[in-house]
Amino acid sequence: MSSLTKQRSVQQDFREKMDEDELLNCMRCGFCLPACPTYIETGKEYYSPRGRIALMKAVRDGMIDAYEEVEHTLNVCLGCRACEPVCPAGVKYGHLLEEARHIFEQHKARSLPVKAVRKTVFEGLFPHQSRMQAATSLVGFYQRSGLQKVARKIGFLKLFPKTMAEMEKILPDVPKKKEMKGRRRHFPPIGEKKATVAFFAGCLMDTLFLKTNENTIRLLQLAGCEVVVPENQGCCGALHGHSGEKEKAKELAKRNIEAFEQTDADHIVLNAGGCGGYLVDYDHLLKDENDWRERAKRFKNKVKDMTEILVELEFHKNVPLHLPGQILTYQDSCHLRNVMGVHDAPRKLLQAIEGAAFVELDGADKCCGSAGIYNILQPEMANQILDHKMEKVKMTNACTIVTTNPGCLMQMKMGIERHGLSGTMRAVHIADLLMEAYMEKENTGFQ
């Protein structure tokens, strides 16, 4: 395909697929600028939401043909969607971003090795939970067999990019494969039944973070929930959607909708803000498909974060929680806050823990730099954002950073390592902390 033909094809797709009304809704008022992490870090207009929207419109209108530069500015975007809550016009920037990335991906000429890697990841791995279990069990073998100690001792990890070597240090202890298989699918409430919920287990959450899933289910039981875990569910599709693999994301969305329709639960509950932000967008993802549009809306209306359900059922008032004296702080999951609109619930739960003091983190609503696999694809910007975040964390004097998303958890753990704080600070998922606080109360007999 010639360069001119490609330009015409890209422009035509932008005209047909990009929402012109949404593009024109941007008033260029600038309210998004102080909310955008990449604009804050660079001060460059083309790294701001309104700047990126202007570039999208320019491509659509045939006013620009420097598509590689435009695509680069879109890829530097974290997709945190912090611009959406502050936009007076209500522009759905995240939807525009994903559609533009999808169009560029469809017209990209990739090398055979890159195509093979993307096919393996997006089609061969994440959509298949059994393969995810097999892959993560290899990491577990690496950890338990002694290979990890040997690799670190001989400096083998120095052969890898610095970011990858840093991530190896903060991987959680991976469960054995047999622990991931043959899981229970039904959990009765503890005490009076208050609700029936279907639990969205996720892909990484149900492998690398299996213990967190187990703790989440236990907390829901303690809150009075009957919990069912649909067997045919799978990856939420966020990784695919954010990477321009829109059609594969649709396949995964349909699979999940079908799986959860069979439960007839009151709510669909999850413990990963990144997944939640994508699940509640299924109605937009499938808006052009008549057979799925209404089903996606019904699905969306049932989705809730675990912290919302726990607060609604007054878990924090009815279940005693205690921790040894310490300061807690909380880093928002961008999609939990900006897309799902959940702000107060996690904080109410943390403030209910006896013995611990909660200190609000300045800039908790700003992205930590994780953003799915952004910290792998854009390590320089991700680390720059993370380092500024850690300076804010230090000001709280907290010894525990609480998160509600696995990516945020790993990123904050990396920040702790990068700043030499591993001996005095930890990062923990809120489900694990609440279970720790519950067990502390049970074991010590605090009244």
Token representation of residue 63: 């006013």
Instruction: Place 156 in a pLDDT band, splitting at 50, 70 and 90.
Output: low
Together in a domain, 322 and 439: yes
Together in a domain, 302 and 353: no
What domain count does the chain have? 4
* Domain presence at residue 176: no
* Domain presence at residue 345: yes
Together in a domain, 265 and 381: no
Together in a domain, 206 and 254: yes
Higher per-residue pLDDT: 206 or 252: 252
Instruction: Place 244 in a pLDDT band, splitting at 50, 70 and 90.
Output: confident
Residue 447 has pLDDT above 60, yes or no: no
Together in a domain, 321 and 291: no
* Domain presence at residue 174: no
Together in a domain, 251 and 142: no
Together in a domain, 160 and 254: no
Q: Which of 259, 285, 311 is the last residue of a domain?
A: 311
185, 260 Cβ separation under 8 angstroms: no
What's the domain range around 25? 3-106
Q: What is the pLDDT of residue 268?
A: 98
Together in a domain, 273 and 359: no
Token representation of residue 238: 């966020």
Selection from 5, 10, 4, 6 nearest residue 60 by Cα: 10
CA distance 332 to 386: 14
The lowest-confidence range among 8-12, 18-22, 147-151, 298-302 is 147-151
Together in a domain, 66 and 142: no
Q: What is the pLDDT of residue 161?
A: 65
Mean pLDDT across the stretch 163-191?
Answer: 80
Each residue of 98-138: pLDDT tens digit?
A: 999 999 988 877 777 777 877 777 777 777 777 777 777 77
Residue 144 has pLDDT above 80, yes or no: no
Each residue of 413-442: pLDDT tens digit?
A: 999 999 999 989 999 999 999 999 999 866
Indicate the angle between helix axes 406-418 and 162-169, nearest 10 degrees. 100
Burial bucket for residue 328 (CB in 10 Å: 0-12, 13-18, 19+): buried
Bridging pattern class, strands 400-403 and 426-429: parallel
The lowest-confidence range among 4-18, 90-104, 419-433 is 4-18
Q: Which of 260, 285, 311 is the last residue of a domain?
A: 311
Token representation of residue 310: 């726990």
Token representation of residue 124: 């061969």
The pLDDT > 70 percentage for the chain reads 94
Torsion-angle region of residue 202: left (phi > 0), alpha (psi -120 to 50) or beta? left
Q: What is the pLDDT of residue 444?
A: 57
Together in a domain, 398 and 320: yes
Q: Which of 311, 327, 354 is the last residue of a domain?
A: 311
Each residue of 268-320: pLDDT tens digit?
A: 999 999 999 999 999 999 999 999 999 999 999 999 999 999 999 999 999 99
* Domain presence at residue 195: yes
Instruction: Place 446 in a pLDDT band, splitting at 50, 70 and 90.
Output: very low
pTM of the predicted model over 0.75 = yes
CA distance 423 to 417: 9
Residue 174 has pLDDT above 50, yes or no: yes
User: 59: domain CATH number?
Assistant: 1.10.1060.10
* Domain presence at residue 399: yes
Instruction: Name every residue whose Cβ is closer than 8 Å to that of residue 344 and which is 6 or more positions away in sequence.
Output: 311
CA distance 172 to 151: 17
* Domain presence at residue 209: yes
Together in a domain, 90 and 122: no
CA distance 396 to 288: 47
Token representation of residue 80: 């945190």
Q: Which amino acid is at 49?
A: P
Together in a domain, 266 and 339: no
Q: What is the pLDDT of residue 258?
A: 96
User: 368: domain CATH number?
Assistant: 3.40.50
* Domain presence at residue 90: yes
